[in-house]
Chains A and B, each alone.
Chain A
Amino acid sequence: MNAKLLLAAMAAMVCAVQGWSAPAAAGDLSGGPMLDELKHGGYVIYLRHDRTDLSRSDTDPINLRDCTTQRPLSNAGRAHAKKIGEVLRTMGIRIGAVYASPVCRATETAELVFPGVELTMPHAMIYTLALPKEELAAAAAELRKMLATPPAGGANTVLVGHTTNLQEAAGVWPKKEGGALIFRPDGHGAFTLAGAVDPDDFERSAE
């Protein structure tokens, strides 16, 4: 609830500054109903990369070119990511553009969920803990813009990323690896949090 209030306040602030219209009231769906709702399209799905091998760490500064210097997906994470893809496809949820963080664990997640899809990897989606603090404001603004952009033609947009980015852009913390937060752009430059899908919800839907 806190997060919702925060988001509303923030959206109002953005509107005040940029002259956007006020967002429509947000729904608060989760799990299966949320996935069902996605069939209608028009949502932006922020998927946190799947489970990772915690025995390994990123270097600081991060080396985007060498996945072996990063904290990678665990095998469980990889399996779960594939499962997410199966669920989305079986349910007939239409997916439009897919954006992913250039950090390997996010890119790999996106590729496992959507095999063969063409990925866009914006700089703003890099794990912000690895970005210098001067770039944080610009990254947050860009991510907000992505969240507020309605997907084209009844599909849903997917963003595969990290915790801190969303915390800085929208004030919400995606709790679990392999879980998703669903946003609804209002078409006037603002967005609302529509609901959440836990990693387990995907498992359940797959069964």
Chain B
Amino acid sequence: MSLKLTTLRGRLIGSSALAIVVLLVVCFQFLRAFAHQEAVIVRIKEQQITRLEKVGRLMLQLSNNQSQLAALLSDAVEGKVDEAAVFIRGRSAIDAVRSVVSEFNALRPWFDEDAEALSVYGAAERELAAYRGAIFSVVDLCTVDVHLAPVEMLKASGSYVHIVDYMSNVVNLTNSRVAADLDRMQTETKRANAYLLASGAAALLVLVAGSGLFYRDMRRAEVARDLGKAKIDHLAHHDALTGLPNRALFALELDRALARAARGELVALLYLDLDHFKRINDTFGHSVGDELLRQAANRLRGCVRETDIVARLGGDEFAILQTALSRPSDAATLAGRIVENLKSPFVLHDTPAVIGASIGIAIAPDDAKEREELVRNADLALYAAKESGRRTYHFYREELDVRMKMRHQIEADLRIAITDGQFELHFQPIVDLQTDEVKCCEALLRWNHPKRGIVSPADFIPIAEECGLIVALGEWVLREACAAASAWPEKIAVAVNLSPAQVKADALPALVTSALAAAGLAPSRLELEITESVLMQNTFDTLETLHRLRDLGVRISMDDFGTGYSSLSYLRSFPFDKIKIDKSFIDHISEKEDCVTIVQAVTTMAQRLSMTTVAEGVETADQRRKLAELGCTDMQGYLISRPRPAADILRQLRDASAPAESAAA
């Protein structure tokens, strides 16, 4: 409060200072305008004096000219001077008149704005022209017949009298005009001064009123700020989308609950994930995803008691803190209610959607007494719930810990496996169904664990993907496969599987280029196999990366087609070179009609789209015959060869091509 008052006082002082500054400015302007008016008046007066002086001087010159010429004339008449002498003196008199005329003409602009003075000035001008002519004639006649000159001299004198008369008139007129101008200016000055004073007063009033308004607005701003602070406080502890407490607030609540648990109260922590939330988000867009989260949050609120706390931890992760349990099975009741509740369909912007929830439960103080441990246990339980098929809940048990430890072990082992050379590539040929010729070999990764023996890719690839090792592992596979293929006959390509995490990376095209260059392998001999899950990332960047790979000359295959969603739209979003039909269809192709129909449909479609089709996992001659009938182009499976080490496959390929080569030679 004291801070606010200080600020307020500061602002009021500031506005008073501003008022004083404005007043000073007004005073300054007042003085300046006054001085300016004075200067203008002085200038007008000086200007008029200059004019009067000028006119007077000209009139004096004319008068002198006249007496000069009169003297010349009398000398000439009396015969005191000859024509040549008259001429020289006459010449100077004429030049004097001419210079008076040009100076007189220069006065004209002075009277441009005063019609009356101008007309009198014009009369004087005409009279001066007559004077000039008369003077010329006097001199001229003096040189021809001096007796006639005095008549002209009389004319000149007459003109002179008129000129002086006119000019005195002009002077009077301009004088009165200047006087009127000065009068008007003084009136204007007075009026301007009044305006200036009034505006100064108005400025002061505005400032006073403005300060009042400013003070009022400031009060309002302070109130708004206090409200805003409360709001920010809420925002900091709540999720903006659902209005539920966020992770930070939940942690505080959990700590409080655990403090009570330490005194014997039973507390349950439920960790909840919406099943397939990512799919909804990817398929229908974020606004639908957000709507789902809001509705799910409302349903969760409806499931719990007032004293329980529901929080959104981020993404589709929720947590529920159930307090004061009578027995652990209370948590199961709540979890069951939630799972059931979330099973019923949602309507998201008119789109019906069925999802579900998996819940992991940990009980304090039974399962853990510390927050971090309790959270970890609930998380493990959630993981287990998902493993056991989703839409269910799972209590934390100690075995979960064991499994988790094993995962950690595998992760740790994976890290050293790459550098230790525990990985090995095996290759399985893909042959042309018509000619039996090997067209390609698929590279398959094997892990020879020093203690566990062969570890299945199904066991370690998900872990490698989770912990990010997949990128390094993928790079190793790519480089190894290219290096191996470079030793094969030239028409045989190598197929390498890419994981979704690899396709996400921007560096993939550069990596492929580098691997090809290092092995000296033509890009057309590399096939990259991706599964639908890569396209389910369905971002612009993924497609961009795939196109850039294609631009390198590398071929792209759709792997395991028929599993997952097998949406045709994936085939539309990118022009694949090859479709690999999943083994599950091939297994039953001899006896199940629906498999035949599906394979038929895929091969027909592939033909239309200029794609080759590969049947995966072909094991019997019967299957092979059937596939040939259905128009499948290539096949792969134990019927031809199981995956073999690189050295074996190299030998096999060389042996196969040797006769052909020698025949060609």
The segment out of A57-65, A85-93, A118-126, A181-189 that lies at the interface is A57-65
Task: Check A167–B137 contact: CB distance below 8 A.
Answer: no
Q: Measured between alpha carbons, how far is A11 from B133 in the docked complex, in Å?
A: 36
A129 with B140, Cβ < 8 A, contacts A57-B133, A163-B87, A173-B84 known = yes
CA distance A119 to B87 in the complex (A): 28
Q: Assuming A129-B94, A132-B98, is B136 touching A60 (CB within 8 A)?
A: yes
Main secondary structure of the interface of B (DSSP, over half): helix
Q: Check if A17 is an interface residue, CB within 8 A of chain B.
A: no
Is the CB–CB distance between B95 and A133 below 8 Å?
yes
Q: Does B180 contact A (CB under 8 A)?
A: no
Q: Is the CB of B140 within 8 A of A71?
A: yes
B143-A163 in contact (CB<8A): yes
A177 at the interface (CB under 8 A from B): yes
> Do residues B91 and A163 form an inter-chain contact, with CB atoms below 8 A?
no
- Mark contacts of B149-183 with chain A using CB atoms, 8 A cut-off: 1 yes-contact digit, 0 otherwise: 00010000000000000000000000000000000
Q: For the complex, what is the distance from the CA of A54 to the CA of B141, rounded to whole Å?
A: 8
| Closest partner residue, chain A, to B136 (CB atom) | A60
A21 at the interface (CB under 8 A from B): no
Contact of B136 among A55, A129, A133, A175 (CB under 8 A): A129
A52 on the B face (CB < 8 A) = yes
A42 to B439, CA, bound (A): 127
Measured as residues with beta carbon below 8 angstroms from the partner, the interface class of chain B is 20 to 34
CB A109 to nearest CB in B, in angstroms, measures 14
Kindly provide the distance from the CB of B69 to the nearest chain A CB, expressed in whole angstroms.
13
Bound-state Cα–Cα, A133 to B102, Å: 14
Contact at B83–A57, with CB atoms within 8 Å? no
B91→A129 contact, CB < 8 A: yes
B135 interface hit (Cβ, 8 Å): yes
Known: A132-B98, A163-B87, A167-B84. Contact between A58 and B144, CB under 8 A? no
Give chain A residues whose Cβ lies under 8 Å from the Cβ of B84. 167, 173
Contacts of B148 in A (CB 8 A): 54-55
**Would A57 and B136 count as touching, CB distance under 8 A?**
yes
Contact status A54-B135, CB under 8 Å? no
A52: chain B residues within 8 A (beta carbon): 144
Question: SS class of chain A's interface: helix, strand, loop or mixed?
Answer: loop
Known A-B contacts A163-B143, A164-B143, A177-B144; the reply to A133 vs B91 at CB < 8 A is yes
A71 to B149, CA, bound (A): 14
In the assembled complex, the CB of B128 is this many whole angstroms from the nearest CB of chain A, namely 11
Q: Are A54 and B143 in contact (CB under 8 A)?
A: no
A54-B148, A57-B136, A59-B133 given; A173·B91 CB < 8 A: no
Of B87, B98, B136, B152, which one neighbours A164 at CB under 8 angstroms? B87
Closest A residue to B135 by beta carbon equals A60
Q: From residue B649, how far is it (CB to closest CB) to chain A in Å?
A: 117
In the complex, what's the smallest C-beta–C-beta distance from B435 to chain A, in angstroms?
116
Q: Which of B87-110 contact A (CB under 8 A)?
A: 87, 90-91, 94-95, 97-98
Of chain A, the residue at the smallest CB distance from B148 is A54
Contact of B133 with A60 in the complex, beta carbons under 8 Å: yes
**A-chain residues with CB within 8 Å of residue B136 when the two chains form the complex:** 57-60, 129-130
Given contacts A52-B144, A164-B87, A173-B82, contact A129 B139 (CB under 8 A): yes
Do residues A54 and B145 form an inter-chain contact, with CB atoms below 8 A?
Answer: yes
Contact with B along A139-182 (1 / 0, CB 8 A): 00000000000000000000000011001000001010100000
Which chain B residue shows the least CB distance to A174?
A: B83
Query: In this complex, which of A58, A60, A71 has the most chain B Cβ atoms within 10 angstroms of its Cβ?
Result: A60
B95 and A54: CB pair below 8 A? no
State whether B83 touches A58 (Cβ < 8 A): no
Contact string against A for B residues 63-82, beta-carbon threshold 8 Å, 1 for contact and 0 otherwise: 00000000000000000001
User: How far apart sit A167 and B135, CA to CA, in the bound complex (Å)?
Assistant: 20
Task: Give the shortest distance, in Å, between B73 (CB) and chain A (any CB).
Answer: 15
**A60/B94 in contact, CB under 8 A:** yes
Which residues of B line the A interface, CB within 8 A?
82-84, 87, 90-91, 94-95, 97-98, 132-133, 135-137, 139-141, 143-145, 148, 152
